[in-house]
Amino acid sequence: APMASRTGCLALLVLQLFASVEAFHVRSAMLARPLPASRHAMLKKSLPRCVGPSPVSLKMGETQVKEEMIVLPGDVKVSRLGVGAWAWGDRVFWGYDDSQEQEAQKGFDKAVACGVNLFDTAEVYGIGTGWGHSETLCGKFARECADKTDMELVVATKFAPLPNRFLDGRKAVARALRASLERLGTDQCDLYQLHWPGFFADRQFWDGLADAYDAGLVKSVGVSNYSAKRLRAVHKLLKERDIPLATNQIQYSLLHRTPEMNGVKEACDELGVKILAYSPLAQGCLTGRYSSTNLPSGPRGRIFEQRMDKIDPLLSALKRIGEKQGKTCSQVALNWLICKDVIPIPGARNEKQAEENCGALGWRLSAEEVQELDEVSKSFVDSSVEFPGMPLAQM
């Protein structure tokens, strides 16, 4: 990606990191208490069990696939598609306001009704509404879904390796996790991840993650935005403590295929670490809803305006394949990732978006269609068209 894009992305990251540091200090002081001695000391109060999958609607000519759950370490069973909850509570990038809560909850319920049980949030999600507001919403939606059916729900969240946490990284993980559990309304997290690298403090954060697992505060652990080198290092350390590394959450889409080129996907496949793909629709760029004359509002519009005219061949391919399969551009783009043995976690701001995303399940692109999309998108790699990624993920 060009320097301008990386600079803009870094600026957004800095805003995200520090917008709520003051709130973090207040909560940290309130929650600074030691971890329990063992996982058996914990009350195993899980998040609610939620609605089971509905039959997937298929049209004539589609290749029907019975979707099986993916089993992560800790016997955490997740669907082959998840929901990313970044937009829930984020006013700065996504323009969230409190009036959208009901729509977000309908999106949550619709996803679960379609067989999706994985929801990914983070303590930093909620810029403009409050530290961890997305976690609070996910916990609320899960509890209020409890009496509707019995599919087990999985809520993953992430620890932010902020600079002010570097000096006491191991204890910082414990404090932050307890605060996240409080917002989620549970005593145990299904999947706890490090949101990005901690650089010279990596070892402390990794030990803190392992401590949380040994204490029974988390069922499974993962990382996010990790390079191949860092992934191998954290995998080795956790393995020495008999703790499996479950996931690496990275940006991955038809407009950001860097993980295929920099060794990250290869390392994940080799180590048995499942990839969670965030921004799988390039923040809406691949939905077919936008053009150079119809841009989204806010920061996304500035990212989109330099790309929309140049990705016409890809959007045309998505539309053509979609018409053949009876699917939308979004569903084809998500299914391409599923065919790569990746779990995409697109956002769903409302019921309609959730339902459309879930249409990526229950069928598969043919090998020829996957290859066609590979070919038409490969020219975007390392070009000005490639969707900008997080700079920290390359380090």
Does residue 306 carry a pLDDT above 70? no
Compute the average pLDDT of residues 215-228.
Answer: 98
Checking DSSP bridges between strand 82-84 and strand 151-152, what pairing results, if any?
unpaired
pLDDT band of 292, cuts 50, 70, 90:
low
- Greater confidence (17 vs 60) lies with 17
Q: What local confidence, expressed as pLDDT, does residue 98 receive?
A: 85
- Strands (E) in 198-254, as ranges, are 218-224, 245-251
Q: What local confidence, expressed as pLDDT, does residue 93 receive?
A: 75
Q: What local confidence, expressed as pLDDT, does residue 22 receive?
A: 36
Compute the average pLDDT of residues 66-93.
Answer: 93
pLDDT band of 54, cuts 50, 70, 90:
very low
Does residue 223 carry a pLDDT above 50? yes
Q: What local confidence, expressed as pLDDT, does residue 374 receive?
A: 97
- 226 tagged catalytic: no
Q: Please, which residues bridge with residue 151 across strands? A: 50
Gyration radius (Cα) of the chain, Å: 20
What is the C-alpha to C-alpha distance for residues 55 and 142, in angstroms, rounded to an integer? 22
- Total Cβ atoms within 10 A of residue 180: 25
pLDDT band of 97, cuts 50, 70, 90:
confident
pLDDT in tens, 123-180: 999 887 788 999 999 999 999 987 776 789 999 999 999 999 999 999 999 999 999 9
- Greater confidence (283 vs 325) lies with 325
Q: What local confidence, expressed as pLDDT, does residue 338 receive?
A: 98
What is the C-alpha to C-alpha distance for residues 96 and 349, in angstroms, rounded to an integer? 9
Does residue 196 carry a pLDDT above 60? yes
Determine if the pTM surpasses 0.85.
no
pLDDT band of 311, cuts 50, 70, 90:
confident
- Stretch (H or E) spanning 232: helix 228-240
- Which of 96, 125, 192, 213 is catalytic? The answer is 125
Q: What's the chain's average pLDDT? A: 84
Q: What local confidence, expressed as pLDDT, does residue 2 receive?
A: 43
Least confident window among 157-161, 225-229, 304-308: 304-308
* Residue 232 buriedness (CB in 10 A; 0-12 / 13-18 / 19+): middle
332-to-26, 39, 126, 360 alpha-carbon distances in Å: 45, 42, 30, 7
Checking DSSP bridges between strand 118-120 and strand 154-159, what pairing results, if any?
parallel
* 385: nearest Cα among 226, 252, 251, 254: 254
Does residue 293 carry a pLDDT above 60? yes
What is the C-alpha to C-alpha distance for residues 349 and 87, in angstroms, rounded to an integer? 7
pLDDT in tens, 165-179: 999 999 999 999 999
What is the C-alpha to C-alpha distance for residues 375 and 340, in angstroms, rounded to an integer? 15
Q: What local confidence, expressed as pLDDT, does residue 48 receive?
A: 47
What is the C-alpha to C-alpha distance for residues 239 and 7, in angstroms, rounded to an integer? 36
pLDDT band of 95, cuts 50, 70, 90:
confident
Q: Which strands sit side by side in the sheet containing 218-224, from one edge to the other? A: 82-84, 118-120, 154-159, 189-194, 218-224, 245-251, 274-278, 343-344
How crowded is the C-beta side of 174, counted as CA atoms within 13 Å? 21
Least confident window among 38-47, 208-217, 301-310: 38-47
Q: What local confidence, expressed as pLDDT, does residue 385 receive?
A: 65
- Strands (E) in 255-324, as ranges, are 274-278
- Greater confidence (302 vs 267) lies with 267
Compute the average pLDDT of residues 359-381.
Answer: 94
